[in-house]
Structure formats: structure tokens, C-alpha cells
Amino acid sequence: MGSGEIAPPVTTRLLDENDVAHLRHIRLEALRLNPDAFASSEADWLMMTDAEWRRHILDNRIFVAFRGMSPVGIMGYCRQRASKMQYRATVIMVYVRQDERGFGTAAALLDFLTGHARAAGIRQLELAVRADNQPACRFYLRTGFSQIGRVPAGLCQDGYDIDEILMARRIDDPRLQSLSTDKDHTA
């Protein structure tokens, strides 16, 4: 885009089984550009077949932020399956492109995810984040998550143990009911 042009708005939507190409594009970009931020590696995901990518979409709720037609961020959740834990979900695959950071894209993705999760009957979001990823830790604390624990040596990368911080956020507070639950959302 040239100077003076207005960037198209960021829109967020839930992926479906026809969105394998979008998921593959943004997920592999995230793993390639920010390998330290994830438990999985790019090599783990490069080996997946289209059917495995599609199964990942169907087994989870994955949201992608688009600027125009280009995916610029991703965030999803995986609902607990045990009957006494189905009110809980784990936030997964959080990534926003470097040039989109600081403009509210991650917060918009989280708001959209939260609204969708709440509408699905989820009352608590949980996540694990590397203890040395301070920008992510600050983001989660700023958006209502609380630290609930720490896993010593939760990850092992290149022979080094890295602690993980466990966080949770209740989302069943009636004062928070105004978040969008539409399939498409504009940030």
C-alpha cells in the first residue's frame, strides 16, 4: 500500500473445514517466525496431511484475523471433553503478525474467541505461556487472566528447560456478556 492509503479493516472469523489453506498459511508462518513461542515446531506441522489439518479445524475452534484477504493473526480454543470439565477450554495457537502488533488485533481475537466460547457454554479459559515470554504474559494479565501456577521445565528446547506459566480467566461474569458472538467480526 502506498502512503496515504487506508488499510482495510481487520475482520475475524471462525474457520471451517474449507479453510485448510488459511490455517496452514498463518500457522506455519507463526511457527517459522516465532518458534520460541510454541510447544510445536514448524516441522511437526509440515508433516500433516490435508485431512489432519482439516481434523484440527473440526476438533477445535480456530479464529483467524484477516486484513483484507490476508491472514494476520490466529487464536483458538480446545474444549475439555470430560463431562465434569466441559465448562473449561484451553486457549491455543496465539499469534499476531509483527506489523499488526500494538493495534488491538490480539485483543480483538481474544474478545471474539471469548464471546464464542461463552455462547458455547464455556465458563473458564485457560492457557500456558512460556515464563520468559513477558510480552505475552503482560497481555494475558491485562486482559483478565490470572496466574494460577507454574510448570517447572514445562518445555525443553535445544536442551534447555523452560518453565511455563499457567493462567486462567473466568468468562461467566454477567457484566462481560456484551462481547460479540457472530461468526464474522470487524476489529
Non-local (6+) Cβ contacts of 89 within 8 A are 77, 78, 79, 80, 117, 122, 124, 125, 126
Helices (H), the chain: 20-33, 42-46, 50-59, 105-119, 134-142
The model's pLDDT over 150-177, given as tens digits with 9 standing for 90+, comes to 999 999 988 999 999 999 999 997 565 4
Cell of 107: 485483543
The model's pLDDT over 91-140, given as tens digits with 9 standing for 90+, comes to 999 999 999 998 899 999 999 999 999 999 999 999 999 999 999 999 99
The model's pLDDT over 37-77, given as tens digits with 9 standing for 90+, comes to 999 999 999 999 999 999 999 999 999 999 999 999 999 99
CA distances from 176 to 36, 121, 123 (A): 32, 14, 11
Q: Where are the domains of the chain?
A: 10-180
CATH fold for domain 10-180: Aminopeptidase (3.40.630)
- Of the candidates 104, 100, 124, 105, the residue with the CA atom closest to the CA atom of residue 114: 124
% of the chain residues with pLDDT over 70: 90
pTM of the model: 0.86
